[in-house]
Structure formats: structure tokens, C-alpha cells
Amino acid sequence: MTQSARVGDWRRPGEEDDIVALSGSNILQPASGWFQRWSDVKNRLVAGSEPVFVGRFNDRDLFVVEVVSEDLRSEDQPIPLREALLSRPDAPAALIGTAVQIQHWWQDHRFCGRCGDQTIYHAVERTRWCENCEISWHARLAPCVIVVVRRDGRFLLARSSRTRRHYFSLIAGFVEPGESAEEAVRREVMEETGLSVINIRYQASQPWPFPHQLMLGYFADYDAGELILQEDELADADWFEPGNLPPVPPSTTIAGRLISAMESEIMTGRAAK
Ligand SMILES: [Zn+2]
């Protein structure tokens, strides 16, 4: 790491560059497409906010900004981020999700967590740099596990007590320091349901920008114990059979995809018998 970083060394948007314009928990969709131009948003930024370079896509630079929510133009359509990312097939969901994570990290690290000085652009890397401490504040990623627990021909679905969403989903939680992802699976299932699991097997992952999780999806088999719910985490949980499920998350989420994959695994196993 050198001390070559200076404010403004990093890329700045040009008038016609593409901009992901966020406003609170919404993305501002312009009259067409999903990106604004810098000239459309540059005078409407939240105080203290600045354009942050996301990357180069389709030979164009993409930036993210936060726009003052009272300052919407008539053509701006505020779309909730969850809707844009999960239920709008026309949205470039991966790019928007990346932009959201970068924006949160950038705004949350304007000051050094060690000495309190203002951090600045780094000349080379996407990081916020404290000249005083000579340390970088990289984008935060929080690994989380999410798991389908199988018991013979059924599997466990649970309803969170923390959200008002009506659907059933999977057991999930943050990986803690010093823990492997598999240990986190074992611990989370035990803490939330009182069950022990075996045969923990990795399936797939998904970035989850609410605000900066990386979801690691697993299957596991029931080993022992009876369902005893941790009430501040789960409102309800039960074993369900493929083809006879309560409302579950959409297939744009890793939870939805893991549930479908487990249904297929069980049905295929049945067909093979
Ligand atoms: Zn510092």
C-alpha cells in the first residue's frame, strides 16, 4: 500500500455515463431502462454523498449515487429494491445488487473506524483509505448459511418471527468468527430448532445486498432431536412433502432454488425406487 491516494484520483462520471440512482430503499427507474445519466442526477445528490464507480459494463462506465428522496422528477419511478432484484425480469439484477452493496459500504466508511479521520479514494483499488492509519476499508461481505434439512421424504420449512412476510422459508444465519460454514449450519439449526444434522453438503451461493450478505446454500440430513423453536427467531416450522408446500420464496432467491432442488432430489429418489 502506498500513500499515492488522493481525493479525486478515482474515476469521476462523465455527463453521459450510466448511473444507478438509489433513493432510500428504492431505485429510481427513468422513463426507459434502469440507468440514469450523470447529467440527470448530479444536482440531486444526498448531502455528503458522491458518485461511486461500480464497474465497466457493455463498454460503459457505471456509477451509483444516492438521490434526495424529495427531489424526484416526474419521470422517475421509485421501485423498491427487493422488487427490482427479485421480481422484475427486465431488471439487470446482478448489476443493481452490486451497486447497492458498493453504495452502502462507501457511505458507511467515510470515516476511519480506528482513528475517526475522513477516509479518501484509493488510487488503485476499490477501497477507502485512511492516510493517518495507512489502512484500507474494503467492502464488507457477511457470509451467511441457509439450509434445507431433510428427514426421509420430507424437509423442514420455517416462518420467521422477524418479518411480516407470510411465506415459509429455510433456516439461515450469519457465520460467526472462527467458524466454518458447515459448523454454522450445525449451530444455526440446533439453536433455532433443537435438531442435530449430518451429511451437510454445499449446493450454491447468492449475493444478497440487504445490505451485504453472501448466502451459502446447503442441504443437510436430520440426525436427532425434536422440533423446539427458538421463539424470537421462528414463529412456526414443520416438515413438508414435495408437491404439498406452503407459500415459499420465489425462484429468484436462493431459498426458492434450494427448496425446488430438494423437491427434485426427493422426487427423483422416489422415482428410482
Ligand atoms: Zn485511521
For residue 5, pLDDT beyond 70: no
CA-to-CA dists, residue 112 to 41, 58, 106, 116, 221, angstroms: 28, 34, 12, 5, 44
How close is the Cα of 130 to the center of ligand 1, in Å? 5
State the average pLDDT over residues 126-143. 92
How close is the Cα of 108 to the center of ligand 1, in Å? 14
Distance spanning both ends of the chain, measured CA to CA: 60
Distance, in Å, from the CA atom of 193 to the CA atom of 126, rounded to the nearest integer, reads 40
Burial of 179 (C-beta count, 10 Å sphere; 0-12/13-18/19+): middle
Place of cell 462520471: 13
The answer to whether 67 and 35 have CB atoms below 8 angstroms apart is: no
Q: Where are the domains of the chain?
A: 18-137, 142-272
How close is the Cα of 160 to the center of ligand 1, in Å? 39
The answer to whether 81 and 103 have CB atoms below 8 angstroms apart is: no
Q: What cell does 254 get?
A: 436462493
pLDDT classification of 59: cutoffs 50, 70, 90: confident
The answer to whether 229 and 192 have CB atoms below 8 angstroms apart is: yes
The answer to whether 110 and 50 have CB atoms below 8 angstroms apart is: no
pLDDT classification of 124: cutoffs 50, 70, 90: confident
Q: What cell does 61 get?
A: 462506465
Q: Looking at residue 227, what DSSP letter applies?
A: -
Mean per-residue pLDDT of the chain: 90
The most confident of 47-51, 119-123, 192-196, by mean pLDDT = 192-196
pLDDT at 8: 40
Using one digit for the tens of pLDDT, what is the confidence trace for 167-183?
Answer: 899 999 999 999 999 99
Q: What is the percent of the chain with per-residue pLDDT over 70, rounded to a whole number?
A: 96
Read off the pTM: 0.86
Distance, in Å, from the CA atom of 95 to the CA atom of 271, rounded to the nearest integer, reads 40
Distance, in Å, from the CA atom of 235 to the CA atom of 190, rounded to the nearest integer, reads 16
18-137: CATH number: 3.90.79.20
Residues with CB under 5 A from ligand 1 (ion): 112, 114-115, 117, 130, 132-133
Using one digit for the tens of pLDDT, what is the confidence trace for 76-95?
Answer: 899 999 999 988 989 999 99
Distance, in Å, from the CA atom of 11 to the CA atom of 212, rounded to the nearest integer, reads 23
pLDDT at 7: 38
For residue 133, pLDDT beyond 80: yes
How close is the Cα of 133 to the center of ligand 1, in Å? 4
How close is the Cα of 52 to the center of ligand 1, in Å? 21
The answer to whether 5 and 120 have CB atoms below 8 angstroms apart is: yes
Residue 83's nearest CA partner among 30, 26, 34 is: 26
State the average pLDDT over residues 261-272. 89
How close is the Cα of 114 to the center of ligand 1, in Å? 5
142-272: CATH number: 3.90.79.10
For residue 273, pLDDT beyond 70: no
pLDDT classification of 202: cutoffs 50, 70, 90: very high
pLDDT at 10: 60
